[in-house]
Chain A
Amino acid sequence: MSCELYKSEIYAWRAGSDAATFQPLFDHMAICPECARLFGQVAASDERLQRAFRAIPESPDLEDRIFAGLAHQRAQKAARKPIWKPWILVPVLASLLIVFLWGIEHQLQQARLNQEVTAFLSTPPALQIDSTDRHRLLEWSSAKLAGPPTLPSVLNKVEFRGAAAVTLVNHRAVLLKMKDEQRASLLIVDARLTQQNGFQTMREKSGSASLWSDGRRTYILLFDGNEQQMHAYMAKMGINT
């Protein structure tokens, strides 16, 4: 290797460098006074440079200025910090839980309603009172239910031939058999089982049903026939909302 190449090695060397890496350089300097002299000059120059690099102008208030800037940043961050706190989630989560549970309960009630309506369609209960006297039937029914012995006006044209006290989805109910149509009967339930203002139609294998509510009671028209036949009957009797 030439002295020119060892020169770059001299500039690459620093105190604490790996001895094995620079061993060829030291071997060369042992026999080359020129390179040894350069090495000495560079080492001396390094010492002078390190001293020179330590000579930096004072900046007495720099630390204070940095802390002032940091304090400003921290104050800004604190001002931007949202007022959100984890406990705000508690009422939100509670509301969501209530809605969720209500939804589940509603689904379960709907499933049970369908199941019990199907049972009434396939196996109607035996009549407990036989009468075509509307007033008497309603008086009898009101004793089984809470509230006055009245029916909504949409049922004004309907005539009955008997009644039975039953329960539907754990609520008191009365089943009235129609006089003018053997396949039709009416369930009056002492509870609101639907949120809908209009008719909710239910189709089952054993028949059809139409459900509506006046806000306090629920009325379910049970019909031993298909949906079309049931609607024809309802139209004929003026049952619509």
Chain B
Amino acid sequence: MASVQVSDQIFDDWVRQYHRLLYGIAYWWTGSRADAEELTQEAFFQAYRSRSGLRDIKAVKGWLVGILRHCYAQMNRKGHGKMEVSLDGMMDEFEDLNQIGINAPDVSQALALHQSLDRLDERHRLPIVLFYFQDLSYREIAEALELPIGTVMSRLARAREILHDRLSTRQKLTIVKKAAGS
């Protein structure tokens, strides 16, 4: 299939449409707002430079997520990223969420999720974020991560099981710590 012509205007529309999506994925992958911002920017810059490689304009979302994954891998290889975020730092970020209308149970769940994802193996963390955060299909996840669909299904099943087990106990622990710190 021939590559598509992507004008600056079309690309700018993609930035407006997908920057929150990429930022959210990056946030849950890295566990850090600063890293997520850096990754999202770098993904769009790389996407702009390689936009002539896009074969199907309908697949732009998966294409962008794929580039984000490459940027994340680059960040890990260079030893950048994975900024250590203290529990207090995380709580501060989620305090902001309270101010923008996300309710307390969701915030506490998110905080617990944050901690659980941080301890999750990367091969499980990457697909689980795409699964829950963006509700991508198995096929879309497989394409974005360049993995066979069977591998994605088995990793997701295992990741869900781990997350389910951890969250049922860790949520309580987080709330206790928060209370102690306040």
Contact = CB atoms under 8 A, between A and B. Distances in A.
A151 interface: no
B19 A55 contact: no
Contacts of B131: 14
Nearest to A41: B164
Contacts of A12: 153-154, 156-157
B157 A11 contact: yes
Interface stretch (A43-51, A138-146, A216-224): A43-51
- Interface size range on A against B: 20 to 34
A241 to B, nearest CB: 63
Contacts of B27: 56-57
A31 B171 CA distance: 32
Contact of A56 (B12, B24, B48, B167): B24
A42 B132 CA distance: 13
Contacts of B33: 57, 59
Interface stretch (A69-77, A117-125, A166-174): A69-77
Nearest to A38: B164
Interface stretch (A60-68, A87-95, A98-106, A175-183): A60-68
A56 B102 CA distance: 10
A69 to B, nearest CB: 6
Interface string A1-35: 00000011001101010000000000000000000
Given A8-B161, A14-B131, A73-B45, 9 more contacts: A11-B160, A45-B168, A48-B109, A54-B106, A55-B109, A58-B96, A70-B44, A70-B45, A73-B49
Given A58-B100, A59-B37, A52 B93 contact: no
A59 to B, nearest CB: 5
A57 B96 contact: yes
Interface of A is mostly: helix
A44 to B, nearest CB: 10
Contacts of A62: 19, 23, 37, 40-41
Nearest to A72: B45
Interface in B1-57: 8, 11-12, 15-16, 19, 23-24, 27-28, 33, 36-37, 40-41, 44-45, 48-49
* In the complex, the 3 A-B pairs of residues with the closest C-beta atoms, listed nearest first: A55-B110, A52-B109, A11-B157
A63 B22 CA distance: 11
B158 interface: yes
Contacts of B12: 67, 70
A219 to B, nearest CB: 65
Contacts of B97: 55, 57
Contact of B107 (A55, A59, A65): A55
